[in-house]
Amino acid sequence: MWAQGAEGGTGRVNFSVQRREVDGVPVVSAVGELDGGSVELLAGELELALDALPPAIIVDLAGVTFIDSTGVRAVTRKQDSLVSLETRLYVVAPADRIREVFVLTGTADGVPLHRSLDEALVAAAQVPIMQATAVVRVPAHGLAGPADAVAVPPNRQSGA
């Protein structure tokens, strides 16, 4: 699925995002200039990709020709929110000029940068897939019914 956004001064669309799955891993690929005028499009596609709570997600910036601090912030902000979901984020940034922006903003250490999609897929394949475990919470007033059974990943269970 491709989504297009911000038009340049010549009337051409200068940013697009594709969301797809590769080897079972959601991949959100951006093409064009990732800046204040286009970050919302990327953020929206990332949110849609996260609906299934995957163990890993890849943001592919191989087609990005320009990124500013708002673009970097959109990716790193997403990284921060993924920690609570226990989803790992991998960023494909083969171009030195794109990688340099992550380094200059001090965010390269917190976000794994990869030179290719294949490299990121190998890293993402190392993430264990969490199996949902049925947990029955018994209400204080009596027996649990079907509505009280929920699927919770093992590392997200609370002492009930």
- In this prediction, residue 143 carries a pLDDT of 47
pLDDT, greater one: 106 or 150: 106
Cα dihedral 35, 36, 38, 39 in deg (nearest 10): 90
Does the structure show a pLDDT above 90 at 121? yes
Averaged pLDDT, 70-76: 89
- In this prediction, residue 127 carries a pLDDT of 74
Across 22-36, 42-56, 65-79, 134-148, least confident range: 134-148
Give percent of the chain with pLDDT exceeding 70: 72
The domain 2-129 belongs to what CATH superfamily? Answer: STAS domain (3.30.750.24)
Q: What is the spatial distance between Cα 2 and Cα 94, in angstroms, rounded to a whole number?
A: 21
For 84-117, b/e burial (b = at least 16 CB within 10 A) is eeebbbbbbbbbeebbebbeeeebbeebbbbeeb
Q: What is the spatial distance between Cα 55 and Cα 37, in angstroms, rounded to a whole number?
A: 29
Classified as helix, coil or strand, 130 is: coil
pLDDT confidence band for 67 (50 / 70 / 90): very high
CB atoms within 10 A of CB 28: 24
Averaged pLDDT, 77-86: 78
Span 122-131, pLDDT tens digits: 999 987 755 4
- In this prediction, residue 90 carries a pLDDT of 94
Does the structure show a pLDDT above 70 at 50? yes
Averaged pLDDT, 2-7: 50
Q: What is the spatial distance between Cα 35 and Cα 23, in angstroms, rounded to a whole number?
A: 29
- Going from the C-alpha of 140 to that of each of 70, 143, 145, the distances in angstroms are 49, 8, 12
Backbone angles phi, psi at 54, to 5 degrees: -70, 155
CB atoms within 10 A of CB 122: 13
Domain boundaries, the chain: 2-129, 131-160
Q: Give the distance, in angstroms, between the CA of residue 5 and the centroid of all CA atoms in the same chain.
A: 19
Does the structure show a pLDDT above 50 at 104? yes
Q: Which long-range contacts (CB under 8 A, 24 or more apart) does 101-105 make?
A: 101/67, 101/68, 101/69, 101/71, 101/72, 102/72, 105/69, 105/72
